[in-house]
Structure 1
Amino acid sequence: MALGHTIPELLDRGCELAAGTGARFHQWTAGQWQSWSFSAFRQTAADWAAGLAAWGVSPGERVALIMYSDVQFGLADMACLLSRLVTVPVEPSQPAASTRFMLQDSGARTVVVSSRALLLRLLRQQAIAETVCRAVVVDASETLSLPSEQLPDRLEIITSARLRQLGQSAPTRREIYPSDLATIVYTADESGGLKGAMLTHENLSADIWAAFSSMPRLTLGEAETALSFLPLNHIFARAFLYGHYRYGHHVYFSTPKRVMKHLQAVRPTIFITVPRLLEKVYEQVEVSVKKTRGWRGWLLRWGWQLAQQEQLSWSAYLQLWIARWLVFRPLRQAFGGRLRYFICGGAALKPEIAIAFHAVGLPVKQGYGLTETSSVVSYTRGRWSQPGTVGVPIPGVELRLAKDGEVLVKSPYTMQGYYHNPAATQAVLDADGWFHTGDYGEFSPEGLLRLCGCKKQLFKLSTGKYIMPQPIEAQLRQSALVQQAVVVGPQQKFCAALIFPERSSLAIEAASVGLSLSREALLTNSIILARYQTLVDRINAELPHWSTIKRFCLLEAQLDAQLSRAEIYQQFAAAIDSLYRDRDVTAVEPPAVRSRLPLLLRPLASLRGFAH
């Protein structure tokens, strides 16, 4: 374990490595890559840090980063850390009420926003809390033209260019300690609220250093190239960025919409993702297998059948080796053709997808971690690789199972607690220092951790987004037409709902529109379904886009209130499966774009349009 370090120290080491190798940070801007050397990145961040100090932002203050996931986020984050400030990352697209809560709860008096347009939108939505008195807008100009009628009198605004000028005229670097609080990262709780996990410099630097140092044959310097597209306000992507600082790697910042195109252009050796991207690729291959005709179709079906098998005979393995080069080479090229560390986290990856990717020559390392553990707890690697598991712990992490099967974690990387929320802290951190994850697990005979479900009411989509089902269910139950509702979607690509109608209200509604049908027939009647769709649409309008209910079904059955969520999912498994069954296999992805991929897998061109 590498304890006793700060995050800026990781960048300092990376600068030493990059000075002799030429590794750089790269941002896609205006149709081309714009690059920063490690030393230029560090100097810009240091200038911003000195500017914040000259502007009167005191050590220990919380600074909210309402920013897109690009190199500017990295600069603002590092500037705050250098100035001994505490960052509060905020997703720009989340509901205004959530943004406002984070700013109020953290006591942030300064915000950094990615653009003038974003600042104006936040002000219109009244997302900027009254406690905020300073705003930094990332802009290359010294002054910013803003409509005065939209600006609160309390808010002093400065551009990043002007901030840098302030810093250059009064250069300073504050003393930073490993025990200093580095960030407060807000996560969802079961009631629909938010709680801020407090992580120190040592928590984060030591965790990612342990994770990187345990990657087999990971090299220092420009030999490794990382492509980053996941949200940096989540600890998963941000921790990996810190690891790339330490190791002096090339880092390219992409977006969900451009990531498939950039994979082919950048050809990274390191790529972290969430299951949803891999699911999209898997689904698109399935479409190709079904739609392609002639000899190409025969080859695809032959290779894909081999790729589905976990256990292969020697003859089948030889066939798969041939298929990797004859059939699946274009798929590997779609990911750049150089991947050495293909890491999936944020949510569980389905075993069949892991098996298929390994078979085609793209082995995926599956990881497990939480915001409260500074990101990485365990991951598959080397001989500890088995589909359906998340491997073994990284150095410094202890794992054990509680009597009920809950996964417990103990390490020096565990958070300090939830900000201003001692009750929530005591609920998950026991007296012996074990963090109660809220996830059920078991160990394989080889000692690998396998996740088996959630003890907590929260669940994750395959996009890595947390869903709080109870508040959504409560809103559905407020309608006279709904007796009970269950939101579903663990490890799926979107949320859906099982709705149990209130029988008498449903009968009245049917009579009001002249329907005289049996109860079962009413549940599939287009007029009745439209009434419930109106209800769902009204609720969706108030939810973050990732939490909206995309599909629902009406069920005649009675819901036993004593059942756990897992038992409900099991009892109504057939209904849930029907909600996620592709109703039109040709509509799984957006319309295909012409591709440079070889003809055999040309349908994979639509993966360029992946949207997280």
Structure 2
Amino acid sequence: MSDTQTLIENRPPSVATLFTERVAATPDAEAFRYPVPAPTGQGPDDWKSLSWGETAARVYAIAAGLLDLGVAAEDRVALLSATRIEWLLADLGVMCAGGATTTVYPSTNAEEAAYILADSGSRVLIAEDASQLAKARERREGLPELGHVVVIDATGVEPAADDPEGWLLTLAELEARGAAYLKQNPEAVKKRIGAITSDQLATLIYTSGTTGRPKGVRLPHDNWSYMAKAIAATGLITKDDVQYLWLPLAHVFGKVLTSGQIEVGHVTAVDGRIDKIIENLPVVQPTYMASVPRIFEKVYNGVAAKARAGGPAKYKIFQWAAGVSREYAKAAQDNFRRTGRVSVPFALGAKHKVADALVYSKLREAFGGRLRAAVSGSAALSPEIGYFFSGAGIHILEGYGLTESSAASFVNPGEAYRTGTVGKPLPGTEVRIADDGEVLLRGPGIMQGYHGLPEKTEEVLEADGWLRTGDIGELSADGYLRITDRKKDLIKTSNGKYIAPTETEIRFKAICPFLSNVLVIGADRNFCTALIALDEPTLLSWAGDHGLGGRSYSEVLAAPATRELVQGYVDRLNAGLQRWQTIKQFRLLPRDLDVEHGDLTPSLKLKRPAVEREFKHLIDEMYEGARES
């Protein structure tokens, strides 16, 4: 048996046990950094730190407070909050109390939040602030099992006349209550941790889903213990790393990162405010971070827009440097595949050195100057954007997994990463491709099933443990996986041709720097069309240089010059597609697609049916009386 197999197979029964081991091993080492926001207009945020020992003191106090509230093994405790240090502390507190965390996105409306709280049977809700508390109050009559609400930020929170006694308390009060409980029962939390079994429910994550009600995915402690050991076994993270964590912790991608951190013991700087990412990176100076493709797309388009705004000469330099970057990355990866060494032809290396001084070095500084690697997941990243960053020295390691597989089933292996693939399976995870191209997974990271939905579980989870992912993929001879599309998203035209819309959409993102989102349509039609949402700041910047300055966004969208601009990029896209894949018509959307309007899931995946419903009139317009030329 290899050292890696031994490491993974001898995993402890719970992350709570892993956490106690980490605290015992490095109590004084830094565990977390978090911002204390400065008053408006009074300078930058102040960042504070917690050692592992200080973290444990708060976690155990929260755990004991929950025990005092009567939380028993596997009792659900819901977390309705944005990503912040208290989310991590509360989640660890729930696990150390033997409970199970139910995650709820802060963007979830009151109706859906109440559905998740009721369906999960959550007994306690830990809510971020007054606005999240209001969601529970609004639907309290339908939540008879919800015995307590704990509020993290008590600003503006007041008890209501109809609040049951003891129903509302602050996180500070819960911790104080827990500290008092531990004085009377000093071994209580330790005993609860010791009683946790590997098959005990640890987390209930509700998939946001692109259609219908969300389903609760049951993930036991063993899933997270396995993930912790398997991530460590890849060697991608070390104890000396500094992670910048902004991803929503209600999502499985954000959640899995904490397991790896606990096993390895590195520092995590946590701040879920997306509008602070650019400001925080030079302060945190992370060595690695995880993100979703949308962020890399925005950075790429932002850099291109800034270069364009600097005038024709500066934009020409950027375009040249971008081309060199892609050429360099492709050559370096191809050579590594053949020889195991990163090297490129001398002339290309010389060009790259010049481009680095002019463009790439500034880009790396914007990421904090120390970024060794960035992990991208949740959706596919355009290979052309991936190659651009790779050649610029920002190595994006794409990974793959589902909520149902505890997030991290595949990841690209360090220096041997291959842009355009999601890498190799984690140690201990099996993969095979079904006859119809669907990716099947099996291993210790696979869920127990959907909460209270045995029929839905049977649809995706085979009796022998294989999970049907719903994704179509290709596996290389040496084990690298490439995801080509979602099985249910494949388009079959009325001419009988199958089209993978995601592949076309990803290509367009690499071609059009003005693009924010795109949806390719064509199911049961005789040609393909597209709904296109443009990036407002980038478009308005262009408008100012093309005689459209001072006009509103809607006026710029309606201008013939804008249509002509986008048509040029569509023509470039079509030049690289098969005839039946080409976009014959498109419509520009009046606004961007976003979570608030229900167009995207909280992890920024397209809700295709929702977008098609809302903009049905534009789709009908494109096909009305039209014939394929």
Deviation at 1:256, TM superposition (A): 0.9
Identity of aligned residues (%): 30
What does 1:37-52 align with in structure 2 at a 5 Å threshold?
Answer: 37-52=51-66
Change (3 A) 1:128 1:66: farther
State the match for 2:341 in structure 1. none
State the match for 2:302 in structure 1. 284
| 1:163 is the counterpart of 2:174 | yes
Of residues 332, 340, 360 in structure 1, which corresponds to 2:364?
A: 332
Long gaps (5+) in structure 1 = 460-485, 501-523, 560-570, 575-612
Deviation at 1:23, TM superposition (A): 4.3
Long gaps (5+) in structure 2 = 1-7, 39-44, 183-187, 332-343, 492-500, 510-515, 524-562, 564-585
State the match for 2:229 in structure 1. 209
State the match for 1:6 in structure 2. 14
State the match for 1:192 in structure 2. 212
Q: Structure 1, residues 429-481: CA drift from partner, whole Å, max 9, x if none?
A: 1122111100000023443100011113599xxxxxxxxxxxxxxxxxxxxxx
State the match for 1:260 in structure 2. 278
Scaled by the length of structure 2, the TM-score of the pair is 0.72
| 1:26 is the counterpart of 2:46 | no
| 1:181 is the counterpart of 2:201 | yes
Q: Secondary structure at the match of 1:413?
A: coil
Deviation at 1:497, TM superposition (A): 8.1
Of residues 70, 75, 79 in structure 1, which corresponds to 2:89?
A: 75
* In structure 2, C-alpha distance between the alignment counterparts of 1:265 and 1:557, rounded to whole Å: 48
Change (3 A) 1:302 1:416: same
Question: Whose relative contact order is higher, 1 or 2, with alpha carbons under 8 Å and at least 6 apart?
Answer: 1
State the match for 1:593 in structure 2. none
Q: Structure 1, residues 181-232: CA drift from partner, whole Å, max 9, x if none?
A: 101111145641211111111111211320232034x322xx2111100000
State the match for 2:386 in structure 1. 354
| 1:417 is the counterpart of 2:434 | no
RMSD of the alignment, in Å?
Answer: 3.6
Deviation at 1:555, TM superposition (A): 4.1
* In structure 2, C-alpha distance between the alignment counterparts of 1:102 and 1:374, rounded to whole Å: 19
Deviation at 1:324, TM superposition (A): 1.7
* In structure 1, C-alpha distance between the alignment counterparts of 2:375 and 2:76, rounded to whole Å: 31
Q: Secondary structure at the match of 2:427?
A: coil
Change (3 A) 1:19 1:108: closer
Does the Cα contact within 8 Å between 1:487 and 1:495 map onto a contact in 2?
A: no
Change (3 A) 1:382 1:45: closer
* In structure 2, C-alpha distance between the alignment counterparts of 1:544 and 1:179, rounded to whole Å: 29
Scaled by the length of structure 1, the TM-score of the pair is 0.74
Equivalent residues, number: 501
State the match for 1:564 in structure 2. none
Aligned residue identity for 1:198: R
Deviation at 1:6, TM superposition (A): 1.1
Does the Cα contact within 8 Å between 1:488 and 1:497 map onto a contact in 2?
A: no
Q: Structure 1, residues 82-137: CA drift from partner, whole Å, max 9, x if none?
A: 11111101011112222111111111121111123431354247697343221111
Q: Secondary structure at the match of 1:337?
A: coil
Does the Cα contact within 8 Å between 1:7 and 1:242 map onto a contact in 2?
A: yes
* In structure 2, C-alpha distance between the alignment counterparts of 1:264 and 1:245, rounded to whole Å: 24
Does the Cα contact within 8 Å between 2:110 and 2:135 map onto a contact in 1?
A: no
Does the Cα contact within 8 Å between 1:408 and 1:437 map onto a contact in 2?
A: yes
Change (3 A) 1:252 1:106: same
Does the Cα contact within 8 Å between 2:159 and 2:168 map onto a contact in 1?
A: no
| 1:219 is the counterpart of 2:238 | yes
| 1:118 is the counterpart of 2:124 | no
Does the Cα contact within 8 Å between 1:24 and 1:35 map onto a contact in 2?
A: yes
* In structure 2, C-alpha distance between the alignment counterparts of 1:338 and 1:450, rounded to whole Å: 29
Of residues 391, 398, 401 in structure 2, which corresponds to 1:366?
A: 398
Of residues 230, 248, 251 in structure 2, which corresponds to 1:234?
A: 251
* In structure 1, C-alpha distance between the alignment counterparts of 2:129 and 2:358, rounded to whole Å: 47
Does the Cα contact within 8 Å between 2:34 and 2:84 map onto a contact in 1?
A: no
Deviation at 1:62, TM superposition (A): 0.9
Deviation at 1:297, TM superposition (A): 4.3
| 1:247 is the counterpart of 2:254 | no
Deviation at 1:156, TM superposition (A): 1.0
The farther-off stretch of 247-256 and 364-373 is 247-256
* In structure 2, C-alpha distance between the alignment counterparts of 1:423 and 1:388, rounded to whole Å: 35
Change (3 A) 1:154 1:439: farther
Does the Cα contact within 8 Å between 1:190 and 1:456 map onto a contact in 2?
A: no
State the match for 1:515 in structure 2. none
Does the Cα contact within 8 Å between 1:133 and 1:154 map onto a contact in 2?
A: no
State the match for 2:102 in structure 1. 88
* In structure 2, C-alpha distance between the alignment counterparts of 1:136 and 1:414, rounded to whole Å: 31
Does the Cα contact within 8 Å between 2:129 and 2:157 map onto a contact in 1?
A: no
Does the Cα contact within 8 Å between 1:499 and 1:555 map onto a contact in 2?
A: no
State the match for 2:4 in structure 1. none
Of residues 148, 152, 171 in structure 1, which corresponds to 2:160?
A: 148
Q: Secondary structure at the match of 2:107?
A: coil
Change (3 A) 1:195 1:457: farther
Does the Cα contact within 8 Å between 1:95 and 1:543 map onto a contact in 2?
A: no
Change (3 A) 1:487 1:279: closer
Aligned residue identity for 2:238: T
Does the Cα contact within 8 Å between 2:484 and 2:503 map onto a contact in 1?
A: no
* In structure 1, C-alpha distance between the alignment counterparts of 2:166 and 2:519, rounded to whole Å: 41
Q: Structure 1, residues 44-67: CA drift from partner, whole Å, max 9, x if none?
A: 111111111112222221111111
Deviation at 1:544, TM superposition (A): 7.2
Aligned residue identity for 1:206: Y
What does 1:413-562 align with in structure 2 at a 5 Å threshold?
Answer: 413-457=445-489, 493-494=516-517, 540=597, 549=611, 553-555=618-620
Aligned residue identity for 1:288: K
Change (3 A) 1:454 1:499: closer
Of residues 77, 101, 106 in structure 2, which corresponds to 1:63?
A: 77
* In structure 1, C-alpha distance between the alignment counterparts of 2:136 and 2:354, rounded to whole Å: 55
Does the Cα contact within 8 Å between 2:15 and 2:225 map onto a contact in 1?
A: yes
Does the Cα contact within 8 Å between 1:132 and 1:155 map onto a contact in 2?
A: no
What does 1:89-108 align with in structure 2 at a 5 Å threshold?
Answer: 89-108=103-122
Change (3 A) 1:404 1:294: closer
* In structure 1, C-alpha distance between the alignment counterparts of 2:165 and 2:180, rounded to whole Å: 26
Deviation at 1:325, TM superposition (A): 2.9
Change (3 A) 1:542 1:127: farther
Deviation at 1:341, TM superposition (A): 2.6
Q: Secondary structure at the match of 1:257?
A: helix
Q: Secondary structure at the match of 1:112?
A: strand
Deviation at 1:170, TM superposition (A): 1.8
Aligned residue identity for 2:201: L
